[in-house]
A and B are shown apart, each in its own frame.
Chain A
């Protein structure tokens, strides 16, 4: 084992880790935001808008991420859309994640008993306030676990960005492996990076869940 290689390639690997983090965080946040908007529109907008969004969800979920990435990066220029690898990576990440996030939000909305929403309407609370004050606080509690799960999946999907030469972690590791003819150490180290990401995300999700369910504990202790 030649771990001294890491001293030489350390800066590149860390840079790759930074790019991975960047694509993952912006991609997840953007995908979640877009997914939330889609879920709201699917619930409250007119039928034609819902059909278009339904088709979008099916299309994106029905095709592999790598092909979406290829289409955007290599096909984009034919439509006048020239993106750097990182820009293409983040954009395709947002698009790829949005229908899954939308479905998570939809399932959360659907889990709110309709009577609660009806009671709010009957007393004259506006639809936006119902979303903000009645639905979202309860929805977020319900979907923290599936959200965390999907964000973890996305963290590992960032590896695919290497195919369009985004200088992320896998790309840097491959470079290192090719230049030094060592394979085991770099990929062990790579696994360690992803594992670290997943553990941190899971812990973050756990803390959010504890915080978001505080009122349930309070309720239980007040009986």
Chain B
């Protein structure tokens, strides 16, 4: 649906030859990936395949060791420069990059001493420098988009998991990011709460938000994604439209066996 206005050669983020080590363990191995404007890209793969690490490298919550991650041409996290050891960006410069990259976490990570409205307004005030009134107005708009305007004064402890995750989404979209990163946004939720979060994400996709989603929700990947990337052991095995991943028998044996486990589970 959003594919119509997406030109395939219009990447907002490019990943080239990106590798990441945790000690001696190579978590990511020479990843090449483009994220196109207004597309929904899902990252799937077994636990430990590196999909969350890949996502976290996109906003430099993890420091990638080799290769490049660029957003609109600008190198993420590291200072541009001649070859040799790279220096991380100055904190203010890294923060400026992150202002345009929204992120939603598996565990919501709301601030428990703030109400839903305050959670959303906090960065608007502290980062964008809005007045209290403007920040609150925009926070309420963002909460309205995730259908939680009536819960604006609730504290996180007074919200269900699905509601908390929608507040976390509102917190990110209120900053008007160019791209949103989702790290297993529904994995911590009770099954009956998954739907409300996925609905909000589909609405965002329909509005043209660029989204990279690490997920175990194969249904979401199959129906909402423009492309699905399959990772295993730190390698990007394949990245194709969902019907080629989930449709006919995939050619790749590892992808086949990974999807088989899901099919078996859903039959039960």
Contacts and interface: CB of A to CB of B under 8 A. Distances in A.
B202 interface: no
A145 B102 CA distance: 37
Contacts of B95: 124-126
Contact of A122 (B59, B91, B153): B59
B111 A134 contact: yes
Contacts of A113: 107, 109
Given A118-B61, A122-B103, A219 B109 contact: no
A218 to B, nearest CB: 6
Interface residues of B, number: 32
Contact of B155 (A116, A138, A219): A219
B157 A119 contact: no
A43 interface: no
A137 B101 CA distance: 27
B117 interface: no
Contacts of A126: 91-92, 95, 126
Nearest to A215: B113
B58 to A, nearest CB: 10
B107 A115 contact: yes
A206 to B, nearest CB: 20
A125 B123 contact: yes
Interface string B98-133: 110111010101111100000000110011000000
Interface in A186-223: 215-216, 218-220, 222-223
A219 B105 contact: no
A113 B95 CA distance: 21
Contact of B109 (A115, A133, A215): A115
Contacts of B267: none
A122 B98 contact: yes
Given A118-B61, A215-B113, A123 B153 contact: no
A121 interface: yes
Contacts of B110: 116, 119
Contacts of B171: 119, 123
A149 interface: no
Nearest to B101: A122
A123 B172 contact: yes
Contacts of B122: 125, 133
A119 B103 contact: yes
Contacts of B107: 113, 115
A133 B123 CA distance: 11
Given A219-B157, A222-B153, A119 B105 contact: yes
A223 B98 CA distance: 33
A124 B98 contact: yes
A129 interface: yes
B127 A123 contact: yes
A138 B98 CA distance: 25
A218 B112 contact: no
Nearest to A218: B155
Contacts of A134: 111
A157 interface: no
A143 B148 CA distance: 33
Given A122-B103, A124-B98, A222 B126 contact: no
Nearest to B114: A215
B158 A222 contact: yes
A44 to B, nearest CB: 11
A121 B61 contact: yes
B127 A219 contact: no
Interface string A122-156: 11111101000110011001000000000000000
A201 to B, nearest CB: 25
Contacts of B175: 123-124
Interface string B54-98: 000001010000000000000000000000000000011001101
Given A123-B171, A125-B122, A137-B113, 8 more contacts: A119-B103, A119-B171, A122-B98, A123-B172, A125-B95, A134-B111, A219-B157, A223-B157
Interface of A: 113, 115-116, 118-127, 129, 133-134, 137-138, 141, 215-216, 218-220, 222-223
